[in-house]
């Protein structure tokens, strides 16, 4: 039986943070747009108030501004958590940006009746394709490293004669330490010989 592989937690958090960023932008725009004034007039009329009642309009704009701050805080919390859980910050950033871009465009079309021309769809397709390529490339590299070494190294090193991967900086540091130890031993021997010669004299 084939079971569906659960999605990583960081992926869900990255997409959700991108969605929160999209709603953050929508609420920020509703704070200042004229569409909010028309909504305020309709709400005031529904409650038997004057359509030009500024108090209702200010209350609605204040509500949108508060939602803007709230979704901004949620977005940063989810994004930070996704960065902590993921093995690559690049993948989290790309997926967050892609989700933000796509959802912002859809919300703009539904709420503000913004048009989505063909050039926008082309850019969206390239953005999604780039996200997929980056994700697959890192998965292939990680799988190759784990298959050959059994561990996931933080940096790439050189492998010689089947020995564990070492780095040039490590070799240079060891040579430098060996040279310092040899110099200190030679200096100590010369001082001891000088003391013996002085005593004999």
Q: What is the pLDDT of residue 91?
A: 82
Q: Which of 128, 108, 22, 143 is nearest to 72 (CA)?
A: 22
- What pLDDT shows up at residue 93? 86
Nearest Cα to Cα of residue 88 among 150, 141, 129: 141
- Per-residue pLDDT of 4-54, as tens digits, reads 555 689 989 999 999 999 999 999 999 998 899 999 999 989 888 888 888
Task: Give the chain's residues under pLDDT 50.
Answer: 1-2, 153-160, 164-168, 196
Within 10 Å of residue 148's Cβ, how many Cβ atoms?
10
The crossing angle, in degrees rounded to 10, of helices 34-46 and 9-32 is 80
State residue 1's pLDDT score.
45
Residue 182's pLDDT is 64
């Amino acid at each position: 039986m084939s079971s569906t592989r659960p999605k990583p937690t960081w992926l869900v958090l990255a997409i959700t943070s991108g969605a929160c960023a999209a709603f953050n932008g929508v609420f920020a725009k509703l704070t200042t747009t004229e569409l909010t004034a028309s909504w305020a007039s309709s709400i005031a009329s529904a409650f038997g108030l004057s359509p030009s009642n500024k108090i209702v309009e200010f209350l609605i704009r204040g509500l949108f501004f508060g939602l803007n701050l709230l979704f901004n805080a949620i977005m940063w919390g989810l994004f930070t958590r996704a960065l902590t859980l993921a093995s690559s910050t690049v993948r989290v950033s790309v997926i967050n940006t892609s989700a933000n871009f796509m959802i912002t465009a859809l919300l703009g079309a539904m709420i503000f009746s913004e048009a989505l021309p063909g050039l926008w769809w082309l850019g969206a397709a390239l953005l999604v394709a780039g996200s997929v390529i980056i994700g697959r490339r890192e998965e292939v590299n990680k799988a190759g490293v784990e298959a050959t070494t059994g561990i996931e190294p933080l940096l790439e090193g050189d492998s010689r004669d089947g020995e564990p991967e070492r780095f040039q900086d490590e070799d240079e540091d060891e040579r430098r330490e060996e040279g310092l130890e040899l110099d200190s031993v030679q200096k100590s021997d010369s001082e001891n010989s000088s003391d013996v010669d002085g005593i004999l004299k």
